[in-house]
Structures are given as C-alpha cells and as structure tokens.
Amino acid sequence: MMKQLISGVLLACTVSLSMFVMPVQAKDLPDFTELAEKQGPTVVNISITSVVHGGGGMGFPGMPNDENLQELLRRFGIPGMPGMPGQEGGQDYKTQSLGSGFIISSDGFILTNAHVVSEADEVLVKLSDKREFKAKIIGADKRTDVALIKIEATGLPKVVIGDPTALKVGEWVAAIGSPFGLENTMTAGIVSAKGRALPQENYVPFIQTDVAINPGNSGGPLFNLRGEVVGVNSQIYSKSGGSMGLSFSIPIDVAIEISNQLKTTGRISRGWLGIGIQEVTKDLADSFGLKQTSGALIAGVEKNSPADKGGLEVGDIILKFDGKPIVTSADLPRVVASIKPGKVVAVEIVRKGASKTLQLGVGEMPNEQADAPASSKEPAKPEANKIGLTLRELTPQQKKKLNGKNGLLVAESVGAAAQAGIRRGDVILGLNNSETQSVELFNKQINAVAAGKTVAVLVLRGENTLYVPIKVSK
C-alpha cells in the first residue's frame, strides 16, 4: 500500500513537472532548418590532389586512400612510415584528401584552412549545385591556418560575416562541411569557451565548441543562429580521429584580416617585438614581490630587436600593450601581431616592483627565426648550491654565442632545482631581476635566501628562455 502511494505521488509529481518543463524545453530548442537552407549553398567541398615523389617499397598500388588518416597525418605533419607509399626508390603517385570551405565573395573567393591546401598540386572545388571548378591558391598562412583560394565564377551565394566577439559561452552554433567526404553535412552544439589558447598556436584566440567536427570539416564555417559566420573550423581534440566534443574554430575576424592581406599583397605582415615570454604563476609573482598573477613575463630579449631598442628588459612584466590589457601571456602575441609594423605604442610594465610606461616602435615579424645558441657539454665539478645546482663559468666562445651576455652552465641539477625542471646543459642567465655575474655571486645570493621562499631562475635551453620558480629548502 505504501509503495503504491509513493509510486502514485511520484507519478503525480512527474506528470505535474512535465506540464511545466516540457513546453519550456520545446520553446527553447533552436530550429536550424532555415539556416541550413539559406547557408548550405555558400559552403563548398574541396578535393586536394598531391603528387608524392618516390613511392614504392611495400606500398599498395590502387588501394584508395583513407581520408581520415590522410588529413590527420597532414594536420600533424607526420611523415610516411617505412614501407608506406612516399618512400624513396619508387615511382611517383598521387594522393587525395578532402576538406571544406565557404564563399566570401560572389566572384569566387573562398576561405579554408591552410593545412587543407598547403601541399596541394591541384585543388578542385565542388559547389552545392554539383558544379566543379579548379581553384587557384591565392595564399596561405600557416601561423593562423587560414588560406584563400579563388575559382572563376560569378554570381555565387556568399556568407554573411558575423561578430565573434559578441558570441557568448553557451550560445548555439552550427557547422556545415564535408566530414569524411559527406558533403553539406550540418552538425550543431554550443560555444564551450572563448579565447582558448592552444599549444604552439600563439596568434589565434580559438572558439571552443562541442559541435561534432570530423576530418573533412576542416576549413568549413561555424555559424551563429542568425546565419552569420563567426569562425572557421580548424582543429579537434581526439584520441580516435573522430569527434570527442572538443573542436576549435578560428574567429572569423582573424580569418578575414588574413585573407584581406593575402588578397591585396600576397603576404602576411605582423607586428613583432623579439622577446620570449611566459605566464606569471603564483610562485613567480611571489618571487618578484607582486600581488597579482596577470601579465606576460619577459624571459628573453633578442639583441637589436624592437623590444631591445625600446628598452624592454628580461624580468619586466607587461600589463598593457597599446592600451589593451594583457591578462595572460597568451594575450600578448595576438595583440602585438595585430599591430601594423612601424607604429609606436605605449607599453605598461612592472620592473622590479615599480610601474613604468615605455614608448616602443613595433617591428615586422621576420619570416625565419635566428639560429639558437648551442650549449656546452664540458663537465665541471664544483659543489652544488642550496637549490641543487652545480654551476660553471662559460668560456669566451660560449659567451659570444650568447651575444656577450653572462651565463652559468648547469653541470648537474639535483634536489629542488631538478624537481623544478632544470637539467644539465641549461644555461642560467639570471636570478629574479638580476643578471648572473659569477658562480660565486650566484651561490652567495641563493644561500642568502630564507628557507621556504621562492626564487625565479632565468634559464636558457636551446633557443628558449624561461623563468623557473624554485622553492628554497633548508
């Protein structure tokens, strides 16, 4: 009896709740049918043919290429495995892969990803009405993964460009593309995050969504519910090669700026400072005596670079650049890159605990990076200091490779230093805001630090410099 009563109450509650909940849910669900009808014709399928020289070995002539595998290998730069087609000693052969794109002007200009067309010998574009055109690659920018291609056609349907800055987390969005070659496929989801920084991707504040993006979607548009393009689908996080609910799109304003430069000049011009930066962690903030963890910490300044000429120094923390706040270190490359080379801007910094504003002329980013100074492998056998570093002086030849700067070679790293990630062969350039002068002085400074305090050690490894926070033990 009691069970029946409880069941009845639960059923009544369920029915009662459904009377209120269900209409609200139905009302709030978006309708993508109009978007699909109007915007579907603006999306194109892109087929890429590449000639691989020297195929053979244990290849499989005549076997169709796996588009999923092809795009994953292309996207992550993985070379062919031994015995696979593409090895030396055989005949040339052709490979094919697929991607997506969308029309941005009625006279045939199309946006897609750079990784879709970067290795192409022939690009074929298929429209939604089944017409096919050979496309010309106007230009591609690997740093942002944006490419502009052109077909000879007029009167084409084109997308409406939206404002990605107006997007809100939780907002509905939709993608149209050719996942696994299935043309004009629509998938939908929500915006999961904005301004997402990804490893090795310094110039794009990605839009993260849970829209199902798969190989073949690359280069396709991301739409808001108004039918406006807000992003270019570029990357997915996946352990299987398929969608796992983590996809990343290039904001359309970034892509349009790149495409405009490619269209007018055929090249990309970016602002450049010539510095190495890192995040201001709580440990680093404590070691510098700062209350906040915002900003970009300068870990290296290239000699004769715009930053060097403008007075920026290692240990400075940039809080604002050209009036724009630098909340995290990932903000700075994007802000600097967006500034026209030659412009003089105000840079707000913290140097040794004091605020300061510098006027700095922004340079133009070089096409290639300078060679890194080589580190020495010569051993040294002094005693380890308080944080576990065994150091030796650099030779004049080694200092020359560092543009004359002082540095101390790490001969051995144990204890707190090793736990923090410093290893043999690294070069110590500074301690907190001070440059290294000698092994004796460095060890004296370290030994004077009270147990439990955190110091910031500036380390050079290869071509990269980085502040490493180390907590001093007893």
Q: Express each pLDDT in 75-107 by its tens digit.
A: 544 444 444 444 444 566 778 889 999 999 999
Which of 125, 130, 119, 122 is closest to 103 using CA atoms?
125
Q: Do β-strands 160-161 and 228-236 pair in parallel, antiparallel, or remain unpaired? A: parallel
Residue 260: per-residue pLDDT: 94
Residues 138, 121: Cα–Cα separation, whole Å: 13
Residue 92: per-residue pLDDT: 65
Instruction: State both tokens at 8.
Output: 């009845």
Confidence class for position 447, pLDDT limits 50, 70, 90: confident
Q: In whole numbers, what is the pLDDT of the chain averaged over residues?
A: 82
Whether the per-residue pLDDT at 376 is higher than 50: the answer is no
Confidence class for position 208, pLDDT limits 50, 70, 90: very high
More confident of the two residues 136 and 93: 136
Whether the per-residue pLDDT at 273 is higher than 90: the answer is yes
- Tens of pLDDT, residue by residue over 216-254, are 999 999 999 999 999 999 988 876 667 788 999 999 999
Say if residue 252 is exposed, middle or buried (CB neighbours under 10 Å; 0-12, 13-18, 19+): buried
Residues 246, 112: Cα–Cα separation, whole Å: 20
Confidence class for position 437, pLDDT limits 50, 70, 90: confident
| Most distant CA pair in the chain, distance | 94
Residue 265: per-residue pLDDT: 86
Q: Give the DSSP H or E segment for 309.
A: helix 306-310
Residue 69: per-residue pLDDT: 54
Q: Do β-strands 408-413 and 427-431 pair in parallel, antiparallel, or remain unpaired? A: antiparallel
The mean pLDDT of 389-415, rounded to a whole number, is: 80
Residues taking part in catalysis: 115, 145, 218
Confidence class for position 22, pLDDT limits 50, 70, 90: very low
Confidence class for position 54, pLDDT limits 50, 70, 90: low
Residue 1: per-residue pLDDT: 34
Count the residues in the chain. 474
Say if residue 272 is exposed, middle or buried (CB neighbours under 10 Å; 0-12, 13-18, 19+): buried
Dihedral angle sign, alpha carbons of residues 56, 57, 62, 68: negative
More confident of the two residues 362 and 386: 362
Buried b (16+ CB within 10 A) or exposed e, 384-414: bbbbbbbbbbbeeebeebbeebbbbbbbbbe
Whether the per-residue pLDDT at 62 is higher than 80: the answer is no
Residue 258: per-residue pLDDT: 94
| Whole-prediction pTM | 0.66
How much of the chain, in percent, has pLDDT values that exceed 70?
A: 80
The mean pLDDT of 44-49, rounded to a whole number, is: 94
Residues 140, 117: Cα–Cα separation, whole Å: 8
